Structures are given as C-alpha cells and as structure tokens.
Amino acid sequence: MTDTTLTQATDARPAVREIGIIMNGVSGRMGYRQHLVRSILAIRDQGGIELSDGTKVTVKPLLVGRSEAKLADLAAKHDIEDYTTDLDAALADPRWEIYADFLVTKARATALRKAIAAGKTIYTEKPTAESVEESLELARLAREAGVKTGVVHDKLYLPGLQKLKRLIDSGFFGRILSVRGEFGYWVFEGDWQPAQRPSWNYRTEDGGGIIVDMFPHWNYVLENLFGEVKSVYAQASTHIPTRWDENNEPYTATAEDAAYGIFELEGGAVAQINSSWTVRVNRDELVEFHVDGTHGSAVVGLFGAKIQHRNATPKPVWNPDLADNHDYDADWAEVPTNDVFQNGFRQQWEEFLESYVLGTEYAFDLLAGARGVQLAEAGLQSSREGRKVELPSLDLN
C-alpha cells in the first residue's frame, strides 16, 4: 500500500520544464542586480514557478559578456554553470530558448537582430534601438520570423503604481484632468565624490541623455495608466557641462542631464513630468506622480500612495499678507498596502515566462518598445526645434 501511495503522489506532480536563458550584459548595474540576482536567480533558487495551467517552470541562465574573467567571477559567486564570450555560439545552441538583452543602447539593436535571425524568443531592456525606424525594423523582423518578444516595463509593477492603477480602475478620480511627475536626484559630478551613474550616460555619442533613458519609461506609464501620448513639448538642458569619468578625468557632457516635458494624452488629460539628474530630493520618494481628477486626487511614488477625495478637500484662500498655518499634508489619507508586492522586474519576468510557455499574447512587445523610442525621439526634436511635436500611431504595416 505504501508503494502504491508513493507512486500515485509522484505521478500527480506537475510537469517540469527547464528554460535556458541567454543573459547578455549582466555585468552592468541593472542587468546584474535586477534581472540576474533579483529575478532569474531568485526564481531558480526557489525551485521555479508554477504556471496557471499547473506546469512547473525552472530557469537556467547562460551569462554572456566581453570579459571572461568577470563572467567567471559572477558564475562562481552565484553557482552558475554556464558562461561564454561567444554570443554567436550561444545563439546557435538550441538549449537556450530565450535571449535577454541588458547591453548599452548602442549595442542592443545589433544583438537583437542576431537573436531574431537565430529564432530565439527575446526579452530586452529599453530603449530597444537608437531610432524609431530601427526599433520598428526590429519589431517587423521579429514578426516575420515568428519570434515572441518582450520589453521591460518595470515601473508599472512598482507597488505605488499598482495602487494607482487600482484607484483608476475603481473610478476614484472621476475624470482625470492632469498628471504631474517629478523624477530624479543629484548625480555627483565625479570630481569630489564618485558619480552614481556611468560617464557614458552624459555623452550623446555613446547613447546617453536623460530623454533617451527616461522618456521610454514615461511613455509606457502614461499609455497604460492614463492614455496614449498624442504630443510632446520638451525642454532638454545640460545643466552641468563638465563631469569626471571613471578614471577621474574631466570630460565634456554632450547629453542633457535634465528634461522638462508636457505630454497631451488621449482623452484630454495633460501630463507634465520633470526628469533630472541635477535636482536635490525634497519629496517622499525619488519619483512621485500627482494625479488630479474631478472626484479625487492621489500622490504616488515607488511604494506609497496618498489620496484626497473631493469631500475631504480643504478650501484654501490665497492671501499673501497672512501666513497660512493649515497643515495640508494632514488632509491626505494613506492607501493601505493590502497586497504583497514582489520585485517588479521579477514579476514581469514571471508573466513573460508564462506567456512564452503557454503561447498567449504579450502586450509589452517590440512594438510597445518602439513607441517608447518614438516619444524619446520626439522629445529631442521638440527641444531642438522649440515646438510641440505630434506623435502618430505606430504600426508594423
């Protein structure tokens, strides 16, 4: 009887599928911390994930990069069996089903073309390319090759923005009127304190600039929460013209370190977002969005969310001759954290793996990535020409 019971229990276990993932660029800050350690290795170390159909999926990473010594060190540190400096050989090996790209922007399109030609499923950071034309070309190539693609949309998975989406879906705001975003912090120049960001971020010729870095984020946040971006007016500024690189050598910053954007959204709402690496933080979190609607308002960050309903809105009176002693902060109520939120990068990885294995549609594909590149390109054009730039809808036809 004991043997029969054990056999039945064994037979009832879900099917297990191991997916090999080529991870290119994991020696970089984001690729290492968020995608390798906090996503793929976290999934591996917990024994995989169970999909909605009961399938058990485990992951096996292959580290790819230019420095064999760095890869060997990472592999030893995290008990990873496989690494290589030969991307072509990795793409030719059928053991590896997914190609994941965390390279610098200038190197990404070339690597993605290779992965598409090899028939690999693709999961990539943004921006997906350096121009709208190139990003659309990649999306078309993937469609023609029948390759499934996914682009990182990590900000949507932040606890604060998930709370915001719940507020929107519940109708809390009534008609949304405006969105005001503040993002950024002071990045040290590098002379008297080391900079927190690599020097290439401040050189246009190396793919740097805060518009290329952040406008793709703002595009997917705005279009998935509030409405498609129809136009942009932006002012790009290089506030600090000289910085010091990783070798403590001064260099000229050729890319903007701050951008001030106004975005008209489908449905009539207006968003204004300031992005800066030259601002000292005086807010609760490094990014905050203030959303105003006819019935209520909210201020959300990475984690927190505060709301004020119209019935609880005070009646300020502007009088420059008298000090205003009203505590406006006290008029806001904190949204409770009723859910358990996991790391946003990992959550999106899990959703993408499920979509890949089950063959379902995935909204955040290379075409979605191209829309982010389009907004960045339009923002740069707007700043150059000093005018509002319209954004036509993109398609692959």
Do 332 and 230 share a domain, yes or no? yes
pLDDT 10s digits, 324-333: 889 999 999 9
Helix (H) or strand (E) holding 164: helix 159-170
Three-class secondary structure of residue 275 per DSSP: strand
Q: Where in the sequence is the domain holding 134, given as residue range(s)?
A: 2-154
14: pLDDT strictly greater than 90: no
Residues 188 and 294 grouped into a single domain:
yes
Nearest to 58 by CA among 94, 16, 115: 16
- Do 176 and 311 fall into the same domain? yes
pLDDT, position 149: 98
Percent of the chain with pLDDT over 70: 96
Q: Is the pLDDT confidence value at 62 over 70?
A: yes
Is the domain of 95 the same as that of 206?
A: no
Which DSSP letter does residue 312 get? G
Helices 105-117 & 132-145, crossing angle to 10 degrees? Answer: 20
303-313 pLDDT per residue, tens: 999 999 999 99
**Unique residue bearing structure tokens 């990590």:** 154
- Cβ–Cβ under 8 Å, residues 230 and 266: yes
Q: What is the CATH number of the domain that holds 285?
A: 3.30.360.10
Query: How many CB atoms sit inside 10 A of residue 109's CB?
Result: 21
Question: Does residue 170 sit in the same domain as residue 86?
Answer: no
The residue among 141, 276, 252 whose CA lies nearest residue 204 is: 252
The CATH number of residue 126's host domain is 3.40.50.720
Asked, for residue 101, whether it belongs to a domain, the answer is yes
CB atoms closer than 10 angstroms to residue 6: 10
At 249-285, the pLDDT tens digits run 999 999 999 999 999 999 999 999 999 999 999 999 9
Q: How confident is the model at residue 339 (pLDDT cuts 50, 70, 90)?
A: confident
Residue with tokens 């060997």: 72
Which pLDDT value is given to residue 12? 55
Q: Which of 18, 22, 41, 96 is nearest to 343 (CA)?
A: 41
213 phi, psi to nearest 5 deg: -75, -45
What is the model's pLDDT at position 8?
42
Mark whether 95 and 170 lie in a shared domain: no
**Whether residues 176 and 205 fall in one domain:** yes
Assigned domain for 247 exists = yes
Tens-place pLDDT, residues 81-122? 999 999 999 999 999 999 999 998 999 999 999 999 999 999
pLDDT exceeds 70 at position 210: yes
Residues 198 and 316 in one domain: yes
- Distance separating alpha carbons of residues 76 and 93, to the nearest angstrom: 22
Please tell me the predicted confidence (pLDDT) of residue 13. 59
Taking the C-alpha atoms of residue 112 and residue 100, their distance in angstroms, rounded to an integer, is 9
DSSP secondary structure letters along 57-118 = EEEEEEEE-S-HHHHHHHHHHTT--EEES-HHHHHH-TTEEEEEE---HHHHHHHHHHHHHT
Q: Are residues 168 and 111 in the same domain?
A: no
Q: What percent of the chain has pLDDT over 90?
A: 90
Please tell me the total count of domains within the chain: 2
Q: Which candidate, 204, 181, 372, places its Cα nearest to that of 261?
A: 181
Neighbouring-strand partners of residue 178: 270, 292
Q: Which of the four pLDDT bands, split at 50, 70 and 90, describes residue 6?
A: very low
User: What are the DSSP calls for 193-236, one per residue?
Assistant: S--SS-GGGG-GGGT--HHHHHHHHHHHHHHHHT--EEEEEEEE
Predicted pLDDT of residue 1: 35
The more confident residue out of 318 and 121 is 121
CA 92, CA 88: separation in Å to the nearest integer? 6
Same domain, yes or no: 58 and 147: yes
Per-residue pLDDT of 341-366, as tens digits, reads 999 999 999 999 999 999 999 999 99
Domain boundary among 107, 134, 154: 154
> What is the model's pLDDT at position 5?
40
